[in-house]
Amino acid sequence: MLEQFKKRYDRTPSGMEHRVPPGQYVTEKFPVLHYGDVPTYQDVENSWDLKVWGAIEQPVRLSFAEFRALPTVEIVTDIHCVTRWSKLDTRWEGVRFRDFLAHMPPLASTTRFVLAHADRDFTANLPLEAMLADDTLLAYIYDGKELTPDHGYPLRLLVPQKYFWKSAKWLRGLEFLDEDQFGFWERHGYSNNADPWKEERYGE
Ligand SMILES: Nc1nc2c(c(=O)[nH]1)N[C@H]1C(S)=C(S)[C@@H](COP(=O)(O)O)O[C@H]1N2
Ligand SMILES: [Mo]
């Protein structure tokens, strides 16, 4: 596996080494990776929604139009996949999660974790602290264009500080939790903390 990725992706431009975590290789491509098939959405305006529930004063359901009316930010960041490719200077636009929370009812004071729920039964868990980072977005524009179905249209989570598996595509729900609960890849042996700079690939 590693050799294969080396051949295809070893393109780290000189001077950029400090941007590439240990064991990673830079790619110019944008590989597509996920478990299962790509969901298709008909009539997103009427059928898609984003739900928020759990340790929050009141559950919320946002329609497509309501979500898209929220203010967005643009960020440029590096992403790191546990299969060893990294991509530098990716440009995303979406609702900063921290700003999103400002539009929500208050969280319970005991809330410490977030479980992201995606279509096709995918989940990813994150500490609330990581979710509150400046560069954690609910993203729907990549490089100036609407996300493609492969990359998570109509909405994905983007948590650049963690390995990319935490960045759930086809996001549909955010569940607030007092106690941590493993997501899909975490249950399958991947690291819970998933910090690429500490090379936390697999579970302890
Ligand atoms: N819903 C969902 N999101 C997912 C996954 C998945 O299987 N299902 N895989 C994750 C993994 S392992 C990676 S590396 C990234 C890949 O995102 P990309 O296809 O846009 O590069 O999506 C993440 N988000
Ligand atoms: Mo991944």
| C-alpha span between 11 and 13 (Å, rounded) | 6
Instruction: Report pTM.
Output: 0.95
pLDDT at 16: 84
pLDDT at 5: 54
pLDDT at 201: 97
- pLDDT, averaged across the chain: 94
Domain boundaries, the chain: 2-198
Pocket test for ligand 1, best of 29, 33, 81, 90 (most atoms within 8 A of CB): 33
pLDDT at 105: 98
Low-confidence ranges of the chain (pLDDT < 50): 1
pLDDT at 10: 57
Does the Cβ of 190 fall within 6 Å of ligand 1? Answer: no
Nearest CA to ligand 1 atom 16: 33
pLDDT at 13: 79
pLDDT at 11: 65
pLDDT at 185: 97
66 alpha carbon – ligand 2 mean position (Å) = 30
Atom of ligand 1 nearest to the CA of 32: 19
Quickly name the fold that domain 2-198 has: Sulfite Oxidase; Chain A, domain 2 (3.90.420)
